[in-house]
Structure 1
Amino acid sequence: MKKDHQPGVDNARRDFLGMAGKAAVGAGIAGVGASALAAGTDTTSKVDYSTLKYDDNIWNRDAMARLQADLDIGKQKFGWYAGTVNGVRPGEKVKPLFGFEGFSFARLQDIGDGVYQKLLREVGFYTDLETGEILEHWDNPYTGERVKVVPIANDPFNYKIGPFYPDPPSYGGLNKEKPPKRPLLLNWRETGDNKVFLRTPIHLYYPSALQPEAWPRESSGPMNRVSEMFTYVIDREDLADPSKTSVEYSGTWSRITPWLPWMLMGQTEGHIYYDCMMGAYNDMKVLSPKVKAYAEKHYPKYFNAPTEYEEPSFSSLEHYAREQKPAPVKKTAE
């Protein structure tokens, strides 16, 4: 494993962009089998696959930066996700509740310490499963109550991409988990059809910003248990090409989270499961016209990534606690 002795990200980037034609990948590649290694030495290809240094944490840093944003520092990149949000309750089959589609724009900053700062805004809308229309109110089938829908609008959600695994999000100090420092060696897997897979799951358990005493109808309890699972499908030639400062991908995104606070489910047993496609591209062609038009009218600033790095960043649950008010407690019949 290489050590990051370089004085700044620009030096690391120049090193990355000049890797074509250097030594072939060694035998210690994490998650890649012998057949993949053999494919990497294909002398009939015009692409130099020796640039794919899966066992090098500096290369992993730059590869992740190229996926998440653009190594052409300051240039922004479009991200997208769309799928279904499901309700999961004991003793029942999983119930599709509504659709979900959103997008983000991100850019990188180079602060000269070997770490990229990723600056991102994202917005996501809940949609009618049949019509695709954006929901502003929703009839909760579990409670029979009509509720106001609160979209996801994270401005910003910033984090850092470096040669070591970052700490999990702190959400303003609520999550105090500090895992040991480990080199960034990601779970890459090559296929036989010129594709590369990457998986990056995260599992969190931390105090909720929506404590039951203050938010009796919105809070699922004193702790949040949240998991997100990302699978990237990447063109192997693009990943191996040092001239591509941004690499497109498609894939899947899943999220397991407490009941959404605006559903007013309180501490009812069960949870929410997002099941979505995702991708990051150099244009917005995949974004549905309805979502694009709604965002242009109501959330226009989300078409531009932030230009300054700010802390802390919050998830939609923390934003809800900061921006909404507790719903009145329902009166019970005497």
Structure 2
Amino acid sequence: MTFKQFAKSFSVTAAATLALTLLSPAAAATLDLSKPADGHQAMLRLIGDIDGKPVFKDWDVTILALLPGSKPMPILRMQGYNVGRLIAKPAGSHDWVTREVSYYQDLKSGEIIESWVNPMTKQRQCIVQVANDPVSNHMVPPGANGRAPGFNLSGETGSLRMDIPLSYPNTLQPAENPEESSGPSYLASEHFIFFAKRADLISDTQSSTLAHHAWFRTGPWLPWMKMGQTPGYLIYSGQGNKYASFNELPATVKAYTLKHFPSFVTAPDSFYQPNETSWTYYAKLKKAGKLPEKCD
């Protein structure tokens, strides 16, 4: 073999090797979750869809009441979902625009209920379902000295935990709302753990990461429970999944939403404020004289 023939043969072999390398899974575009920018991208795809499509995250929850010195007592179930959309903004930031509904259910049957006998007061109360619109925020990428989200990778699985302590003035102040207000300040906490396949989390080729999640929350008595400033609080323990469409949600949740809150079948198209909570929603209904009164 002459040098010319050898060089030609080597070139063909090298080109073939390069082509196989580029086509192999190991060479596919991946994210380094230890880097702030890559970790932020992975987080966006975990909670939403960077193509701007709506995503649905549901939950199936048990609510427990905790009174001082007493064992936590399961009192209700709850099912609902959040539907959100990522809207790309300049400099890599996003608006995360969402709305959410959640429906209280009988602890044993799982049936959505409109009234409830409070086991702590023995009084029947009309329920105000959750219908919060909007629940939105800005998502800004980390700067040069920013920190990467705390992803945990173990084997073929990855997770991301978020702990959100909350404290702000209570919309329902006790002087004007003695039965509905737990005090001058709203004190609560939200805790999420999102789980996904490791390969999906580090992939840089998909716009949305399929995931499921655990949700834990502590919060004050709900206004419609009429517990006032009774010592104690609520514990929410649940789990859920991420979906690409409304049709994938549980049948009972879909049916109730279509009947009572049809605008919640998709995500908002733009960012607007102020955010709604169960407390601001209750206050609006009360001010407008629209709180449910006949619910037996």
For normalisation by structure 1, the TM-score amounts to: 0.75
Matched AA of 2:39: N
1:84 corresponds, among 62, 81, 93, to: 62
Going from structure 1 to structure 2, the CA distance change for 1:47 and 1:120 (only over 3 Å counts) comes to farther
More strand by share: 2
Cα offset, 1:292, TM superposition: 1.5
Distance 1:258 1:286 in 2: 31
Partner in structure 1 of residue 80 of structure 2: 102
- The 3-state SS of whatever aligns with 1:93 is coil
Partner of 2:102: helix, strand, or coil?
strand
Q: 2:157 aligns with which of 189, 195, 198?
A: 195
1:240 to partner: Cα distance? 2.0
Distance 1:70 1:145, change over 3 A: same
Q: Partner of 1:46 in structure 2?
A: 25
**Counterpart residue type for residue 312 of structure 1:** P
- Give secondary structure in 1 for the equivalent of 2:166: strand
Deviations 1:3-37 (A, max 9, x none): xxxxxxxxxxxxxxxxxxxxxxxxxxxxxxxxxxx
Q: Secondary structure at the match of 2:92?
A: coil
Query: How much does 1:300 deviate?
Result: 1.1
* Secondary structure at the counterpart of residue 273 of structure 1: strand
CA shift, 1:85, in A, is 0.8
Q: Work out whether residues 101 and 127 of structure 1, in 8 Å CA contact, stay in contact via their aligned partners in 2.
A: yes
CA distance in 1, matches of 2:150, 2:268: 29
TM-superposed CA distance for 1:279, in Å, is: 2.4
Tell me the amino acid that sits aligned with residue 264 of structure 1: K
Measured after TM superposition, the shift of residue 87 of structure 1 is 0.4
- Is contact 2:29–2:204 with CA below 8 Å preserved after alignment? no
Counterpart residue identity of residue 104, structure 1? N
* Aligned-pair identity (%): 35
| Residue 124 of structure 2 is aligned to residue 161 of structure 1 | no
Partner of 1:240: 202
What is the CA-CA distance between 1:323 and the residue it aligns to?
A: 2.6
2:124 aligned to 132, 146, 161, which one?
146
* Structure with max Cα Rg: 2
Distance (whole Å) between structure 2 residues aligned to residue 114 and residue 285 of structure 1: 31
Distance 1:189 1:204 in 2: 24
- In structure 1, the residue matched to 2:4 is none
Distance 1:215 1:107, change over 3 A: same
Measured after TM superposition, the shift of residue 49 of structure 1 is 8.1
Offset, 1:196: 0.2
Instruction: Say if 1:64 and 1:161, in contact at 8 Å, map to a contact too.
Output: no
- Corresponding residue for residue 9 of structure 1: none
Structure 2: give runs of 5+ residues left out of the alignment.
Answer: 1-23, 291-296
Identify the residue that residue 63 of structure 1 maps to in structure 2: 42
Cα pair 1:104 1:303 within 8 Å, conserved: no
Matching residue of 2:146:
183
Asked whether the 8 Å contact 1:218–1:265 carries over to 2, the reply is yes
Tell me: CA distance 1:47–1:249, structure 2 relative to 1, closer, same or farther (3 Å): farther
Q: Which runs of 5+ in 1 are unaligned?
A: 1-44, 166-180, 328-334
Bigger helix share: 2
- Give the TM-score normalised by the residue count of structure 2: 0.84
